[in-house]
Amino acid sequence: MVKLSIIAPIYNEEDNIKLLHQEITDAVRGKIESYEIVLVNDGSKDRSAILLNELAKSDPAVKVIHFERNSGQTAAISAGLKQSSGELVALIDADLQTDPRDIFKLMPYIVNMDFVNGKRVHRRDTFVKKVSSRVGNGVRNWLTGDKIYDTGCPMKLMKREVADSYYLYEGMHRFLPTLAKINGFKVIEVGVSHRERQHGVSKYGVFNRAFVGLMDAIVIGWLRKRVIHYQIKGQ
């Protein structure tokens, strides 16, 4: 088992893939005893698959998973979690708006916590995107009864036990901190940096953030209210 797995879903990110690999490698090399980079190609239609295969051939730390067709962000994250082998697991998006070096901002907290959720500070997004994310987070917290400020932040760090506890359904990547809490793990949010996207376009718009997750949030809220609590006598 390696010490750290870094997982990134990839969908039509041909202009970012080489830079993503370079930044992750620069961030972790020499700072962690062993690592792997798990890149999940979510049915990309550009040259992403070719570039990913080239990386895997040139760097033994890179593990590539190819989907036959586009299956969505939740599926990509779920596959990455299942195929990774790290004692610790970090999630990051391929657009590089979050900085891989911030993994080590989260690392000190994992000693006493099980899941560390990044919280984007000084967001470098359009006004519409900021508003839609704020609305989406607000609606999700209202429906789930949680208090996660930035559940949509792609930068996350968790222990292997947390990763193994997930059984994800479509859309549930938006609720990973809440699901970790439901499963009995300790969660904290820590500020991370945020940068402007250099290449490509966002794959998720206002509708996705504000409305698509509504029914998912209702389901998560329902599940949270029905968590089983018990203590075995004598233990």
Whichever domain contains 148, its CATH number is 3.90.550.10
Q: Which H or E run includes 41? A: strand 35-41
Q: How far, in Å, CA of 97 to CA of 194, rounded?
A: 5
Length of the chain: 235
Whether residue 80 lies inside any domain: the answer is yes
Whether residue 73 lies inside any domain: the answer is yes
Using DSSP's 3-state secondary structure scheme, residue 74 falls into helix
pLDDT at 127: 47
pLDDT at 74: 94
Ramachandran category for residue 30: left, alpha or beta (phi over 0 → left; psi -120 to 50 → alpha) = left
* pLDDT tens sequence for the chain (235 residues): 799 999 999 999 999 999 999 999 999 999 999 999 999 999 999 999 999 999 999 999 999 999 999 999 999 999 999 999 999 999 999 998 989 999 999 999 999 999 999 998 865 554 445 545 555 555 555 455 566 767 778 999 999 999 999 999 888 898 899 899 989 999 999 999 987 766 555 654 445 555 556 667 776 776 777 777 767 887 6
Global pTM value? 0.83
Whether residue 235 lies inside any domain: the answer is no
pLDDT at 223: 75
Whether residue 51 lies inside any domain: the answer is yes
pLDDT at 18: 96
Domain that residue 53 falls in: 4-225
Whether residue 233 lies inside any domain: the answer is no
pLDDT at 150: 76
Number of domains in the chain: 1
Select from 84, 77, 79 the least CA-distant residue to 34. 84
Pairing of strands 156-159, 4-10: unpaired
Q: How far, in Å, CA of 52 to CA of 163, rounded?
A: 24
Whether residue 231 lies inside any domain: the answer is no
Name, in order, each residue with C-beta under 8 angstroms of 33's C-beta and a sequence gap of 6 or more.
Answer: 3
Whether residue 89 lies inside any domain: the answer is yes
Q: How far, in Å, CA of 178 to CA of 146, rounded?
A: 7
pLDDT at 128: 44
Q: How far, in Å, CA of 197 to CA of 195, rounded?
A: 6
pLDDT at 197: 67
Whether residue 232 lies inside any domain: the answer is no
